[in-house]
Structure formats: C-alpha cells, structure tokens
Amino acid sequence: MNKPASPNMSKIRKLLAALCHLKVDVYYLLCMLPFALPMVTFTQFAQDKYCLNEHKLGWEICKDLAELSDPDYEESKNSVLQSVTTLKNYQIITTTAPGILYPLFLGYWIDTYPNHLYGLLVIAPIGGFVANLICCYNCIRFDLAPTTILYSYVLEGLLGGLTVPMTGCYTIITRTTPSHLRSLRFAVMEFFISLSPSIATVAGGKLLTLDPWIPNQYRNYVAVFGLTSFFWGLASIWALIFLRDAGKQSIERSPSDDLETNPGINRQAEMRLSIRSLERPNIRVNSTKSKKDGLLSILADIFNPKSVTTMMKTCCRKRDNYGRAQIWHLIAMMTVVLISMKGEDSIGYQFTQKVLNWSADEYSDRYAFLSLAPPFGTTLATLILVPTLKLSDTVFGIIGSLSLVISLTLKGALLTSLGYYLAFATCIFSGLASISIRSILSRIIAPNEVGQLYCILSCIEGAGPMISSIFHSAIFKPTLAILPGMAWHADAIIMLYPLAVYIWFDITRSRWDKTYKLKAKPRKQIEPSKPEVTPNGPNAKVAENSIELDEKSSQQVKY
C-alpha cells in the first residue's frame, strides 16, 4: 500500500512541476540575447561613424575617444556622445514604436484565436534576423551616413520586435501556472530576461574587440551583427519545433488552481461541473468566441476597432474593492519601473565613457558581471522567501522598489567606479518590483481577461525602451557636461510612486486579495455542509439554479 506523500514532499513536487515548463523561457532568452547583443556594438559603430565621417577626426583619436582626456578634444567628444545618444534614441523608437500598436489588437487576437499564437511566436523573430543582416551590409559600406542604420530596424519594428514574444510567453505562463506559484514562475522568467543582457553584453564586447573578420573594417562589427542574426533565426526555429502547443493551453482556470487555497469551495465547483456535464452535455465551459472561417473574415475580426474598445472596457469597467483603480495603478507602475530599469540601455555606456572613461571592452566586461546581481538576487529571494517566510507580493514589490531607489541614488551621487559598483550591489532585488505587478494583477483579473490585460502590459513594456530613451536623453544631454548623474536621480524620484502604491496595496490587502481572505477564514467556514446532490435527485433543481446564476455572473465580464 502506497503511503501518502508528506506535505513537504508535496510542496517540492509542486515546485519542480512549476520549473519543468522552461521551453517558453528558453524561447524568450533566445529573443532577448539578440536584442541585447548589439547594444554596445551599435553605440560604438555609430560613434565611429560620427567621429570619422561627420567630425573628420583621425582613427588614432576616434579609436580611444572614451579614454581621451585632452581638453582640446573635449568639445568634440561631448558632441559625438550627444549625437550617438540621439541616434540611439531614434533606433529604439524605430524598433519599438510599430510594436506598440500590436497589443491593441493582440489581446483579443490571442484570447479569440489561441491557436494563432504559435505562428506569431515563429514569425516575430524574423524581423530581427533581417534587420541585422542589413546592419552587416551597412558595416561594409562604412561611408554611408550614420542615420542609414535606422533603416535596418524598420522590419523588426513592423513584425512586433519583442512585444509579440513577450505577450505570448507571459500569456502561456499565466494560463498554465497555478496562482500560488505565479510569483515563482515569473521570477524564473525574470531570471532569464535579466540574465540575457549579461551574457549578450560580454559576448558582444569580446567579439567587437577581436581583429575584424572582414577586410577594411575598423572594428569587428560584422561578427556581432552576424551572430545577432543567427540567434534571431534560432529563436524562430525553437518556436517552430518546441512551441507547437502554445495556443492549445487551456484559457480557463482549472479546478485544481483554487484547490490549494480553497478546498471546500473547490469541491462545490467540481460538483457543479459534474452536474453540468451530466445534465447539460451540450454546454461547454469556454468563453472563447466561435471561430470565423476565411482569412479575410479572421483579419477583419482581429483588427476590428471594437477589439480596442473591448480591451479598454475591460480596464475601465467598475470592479469591487477599487479593482479598476488598482489595475490602472499597476499599469502606471509598470511604466515607471521600466523607465527606471531601462536607463542603462539608453545612456549607460555613454555615462561610463564620460564619467569613468571606460572603453567598450571595459564596459562590456564589468557590466556583464555587475548585471548578474539583479537576476540572481531576485530568483534567490523568490525561492527562499516564498516557501520560508511566505511574504506577499506586495512586500516583494516594496523590497524591489526600495532597492531601485537606493541604487539609482547612489549611481547618480557617487560618480566613481566604487559608486557604480555599489549601485549594482544595492539593486540586487530590483527585479521584484516588476514581478509583483504581474502577480498582483493576476489575482485581480478574471481568467478570460488575462490576454487583454497582459497585452496592455506588453504594450507598455514594448514602449518602455522608447519612453525610457526619450526620458533619459532629455535629461542626460543637457546635463552631460555639468551633472552627468542627474538622470539617475530623476529615476529615483519617480520610483517613489510605485513604492507608495505598493505600501497602499499591502495595507488594503485584506480587501482585494481573495487568497488572503480564504486563509483568514476558519476551515469550517470554507467548507460548509451541503446536501448530497445527484443528477436526478431531489436537490438537482437547486443545483441547476446555482449553475444558471453562475453562468449569468460569468457573462457580466463579456462585452
């Protein structure tokens, strides 16, 4: 006779089960690597073009422009850095701006036609693949104007960039992970997201400093852009092979989802589902609309303006316990957190060139090592604090926000190598700020709203680099010569808003968190005694009325 598993073993099995579905994370890692790989190379390539083609300076000067301390060239150095910052800003806008429009229709698309998600995940990386091949050609034709680099990224932006992979991956994770394990699951995803810039930066920096693989090149630009194209292609192949079931996942919350937190209520749900299947065999528990036939009909349905209004109604409809205000606060918080966390991508390299006189090789090596702190810290904190201290998502958000505020303050105040190192050491828990937003949102919204709400977050995350680049460029360029750390201080100030909202969420948690309410109730209240119900028994009519009421209440979220 088999002995029942101990509670500890049961928790370990649940933890292992949550970590087994990593094929989605690998796919997103393969998308993030080529997105971050040419970050330093693009900046250096544009800098060399401006220095050699626009300012007509010699290679001996342009080669070590970051380490140049001669006062005679200080004005030219600042001018080149400002021009590169502006071009980097335009490059981010070109890549992300078209993808911002996709989430307006992508949420309805994924919810209504879930089987299309597989094709979207396969096609999205092709834009990056083509873009970096064009960059290779631009490297060979070095005499072209620096602004011609922007043309390479048009197709990548039109195919959605990272917006489609991000939306698809988070939607799959939410639909296939129980609510009590989502914080851990999002932490694993955040680990992959945060790990990729470290790997990509050091790989890109090392490749760039090697002897050029192509003749008549100043640096090894072609190798970096070529490897970037390879990874984009690999991401598409990975999705083609391993994500075939991406759209076949259930979009309904399974009965076992709530079982761990509310066994009594769940038994009632199972009983009602059993009666429904016996007495109403023609009724399917599915909120997805019937599929339309024909390509034109499907496209007309997907890109219907009503899809946008439906998504906005989902966000704007009145909810219990200030749910509507909470959703909009979470959306605004995600925007602020992304602005603060993406600043390094926009001005990080130029900042270290100006303040610390670091070259591309030095920045790549040190940044790659320092940027490992947040993903490791976030993952370890989630693995240790969730099972041991059982901290809530709101507490995680407070810890992550405080970590970012302290880190950004130090980075802007201590303009030395030590200050830069301390800034990364203190942002070790910064990833918790964004993880908590998704986890809290998943507790507020209904299961059939996941695609729409997450698409709005993906829209913000897609626009995040662009907004962050504009924000940091507007502050960094005018203060470059006098207060180069002012942009980091601005980030610290705006991060006070997520911190305050997280504190409010934690204080009012008993009003909106259903899991918290269930844990606070005694077991007898959770499991009220109910008369036995059989399909043809005397209480079947009562259960039938309960089913009809449940169906009517579930239809209130549809539009």
pLDDT at residue 266, rounded to an integer = 36
The confidence band for 14, taking pLDDT boundaries of 50, 70 and 90, is low
pLDDT at residue 1, rounded to an integer = 46
The residue-averaged pLDDT of 61-70 equals: 76
The confidence band for 408, taking pLDDT boundaries of 50, 70 and 90, is very high
pLDDT at residue 107, rounded to an integer = 64
Bigger pLDDT: 528 vs 102: 102
HSE toward the beta carbon, residue 201, CA cutoff 13 A: 24
Q: How far is CA 360 from the centre of its chain?
A: 27
CA distance to 11, 187, 225, per residue, from 1 (Å): 22, 38, 61
The region of weakest confidence among 351-360, 367-376, 502-511 is: 367-376
List, as one string, the DSSP characters of 52-74. IIIS---HHHHTTTTT---GGGH
The residue-averaged pLDDT of 461-468 equals: 76
CA-wise closest residue to 307 among 124, 159, 112, 438: 112
pLDDT at residue 379, rounded to an integer = 75
pLDDT over 60 at 291, yes or no: no
Q: Are 104 and 187 in contact (CB under 8 A)?
A: no
pLDDT over 70 at 398, yes or no: yes
List, as one string, the DSSP characters of 192-232. HHHHHHHHHHHHHHHHHHSPPSSTT-SS-HHHHHHHHHHHH
pLDDT over 80 at 73, yes or no: no
pLDDT over 60 at 101, yes or no: yes
Three-class DSSP labels, 106-127: HHHHHHHCHHHHHHHHHHHHHH
C-alpha 392/C-alpha 381 separation (Å) is 12
Q: Tokens 């908590």 sit at which residue? A: 436
pLDDT at residue 3, rounded to an integer = 54
C-alpha 354/C-alpha 374 separation (Å) is 25
The residue-averaged pLDDT of 356-362 equals: 81
The pLDDT tens digits of the residues spanning 155-191 come to 887 887 777 887 788 778 777 777 667 667 777 777 7
Dihedral sign for Cα atoms in the order 205, 209, 210, 214: positive
pLDDT at residue 550, rounded to an integer = 46
Q: Which letter does DSSP use for residue 38 in this model?
A: T
Q: How far is CA 391 from the centre of its chain?
A: 22
pLDDT over 50 at 481, yes or no: yes
Q: Which residues contact 215 (CB under 8 A, 6 or more apart)?
A: none
Any idea where the domains of the chain sit in the sequence?
18-254+311-516
Mean pLDDT computed over every residue of the chain: 75
pLDDT over 70 at 432, yes or no: yes
pLDDT at residue 5, rounded to an integer = 56
Bigger pLDDT: 409 vs 147: 409
The region of weakest confidence among 218-222, 309-313, 415-419 is: 309-313
CA-wise closest residue to 423 among 488, 490, 351: 488
Helix (H, G, I), strand (E, B) or coil at 49: helix
Bigger pLDDT: 210 vs 551: 210
Gyration radius from the chain CA atoms: 26
CA distance to 98, 434, 514, per residue, from 507 (Å): 39, 19, 15
pLDDT at residue 114, rounded to an integer = 72
The region of weakest confidence among 210-224, 286-300, 325-339, 433-447 is: 286-300
C-alpha 263/C-alpha 256 separation (Å) is 9
The confidence band for 11, taking pLDDT boundaries of 50, 70 and 90, is low
Bigger pLDDT: 389 vs 437: 437
pLDDT at residue 557, rounded to an integer = 37
Q: Which residues contact 440 (CB under 8 A, 6 or more apart)?
A: 326, 330, 393, 394, 397, 505
C-alpha 301/C-alpha 305 separation (Å) is 9
Rounding to the nearest 10 degrees, give the CA dihedral for residues 102, 103, 105, 106. 100
The residue-averaged pLDDT of 318-340 equals: 84
Q: Which residues contact 479 (CB under 8 A, 6 or more apart)?
A: 486, 487
The residue-averaged pLDDT of 397-421 equals: 91
pLDDT over 50 at 554, yes or no: no
pTM above 0.75, yes or no: no
The pLDDT tens digits of the residues spanning 332-351 come to 898 899 888 888 877 888 88
pLDDT at residue 225, rounded to an integer = 93
Bigger pLDDT: 251 vs 357: 357
The residue-averaged pLDDT of 312-333 equals: 80
Three-class DSSP labels, 417-464: HHHHHHHHHHCCCCCHHHHHHHHHHHHHCCHHHHHHHHHHHHHHHHHH
pLDDT at residue 349, rounded to an integer = 82
pLDDT over 80 at 429, yes or no: yes
C-alpha 453/C-alpha 107 separation (Å) is 7
CA-wise closest residue to 117 among 246, 21, 27, 30: 246
pLDDT over 50 at 63, yes or no: yes
> Can you identify the CATH homologous superfamily of domain 18-254+311-516?
MFS general substrate transporter like domains (1.20.1250.20)
Bigger pLDDT: 4 vs 163: 163
Maximum Cα interatomic distance, the chain, rounded to a whole number of Å: 96
Bigger pLDDT: 406 vs 454: 406
Q: Are 428 and 377 in contact (CB under 8 A)?
A: yes
Task: Please give the backbone phi and psi of residue 178, each rounded to the nearest 5 degrees, phi first.
Answer: -60, 150
Q: Which residues contact 320 (CB under 8 A, 6 or more apart)?
A: none
Q: What percent of the chain clears pLDDT 70, i.e. is strictly above it? A: 73
